[in-house]
Amino acid sequence: DAGVIQSPRHEVTEMGQEVTLRCKPISGHDYLFWYRQTMMRGLELLIYFNNNVPIDDSGMPEDRFSAKMPNASFSTLKIQPSEPRDSAVYFCASSFLSGGVGEQFFGPGTRLTVL
């Protein structure tokens, strides 16, 4: 398996622009997670899905952030409008529920820079 795939790997945009990050989970995994990593706040969970349904979005910073999972093989995280403080590395991870807790497999991340 190719693992979790994220695109783009790097994104540089200007404040106010819309940004869309994409994720393809590992085939057969039923959980998908979006995390954000910054120096100041470390790794933060933004939202996670189970069988394409959002379960917990309490980590989404504000209304400018939205995430969708239209099918089992694709998810997007959208920021509109983007702000400089959104600059971070965004990770997608997927897992398969096994024995109650599944190992999470992380993608390589998208490094977002908002100027």
According to the binding rule CB under 8 A, does residue 104 interact with another protein? yes
What are the DSSP calls for 17-71, one per residue?
--EEEEEEPPTT--EEEEEEEETTTEEEEEEEEETTEEEE-TT--STTEEEEEEE
CA distance 22 to 20: 7
Considering the complex, state which of residue 74 and residue 96 has its C-beta at the smaller distance from another protein. 96
Nearest approach, Cβ of residue 38 and another protein (Å): 11
* 97 interacts with another protein by CB under 8 A: yes
| Binding region for another protein (CB under 8 A) | 4, 31, 33, 42-43, 45, 48, 50, 55-56, 91, 93, 95, 97, 99-109
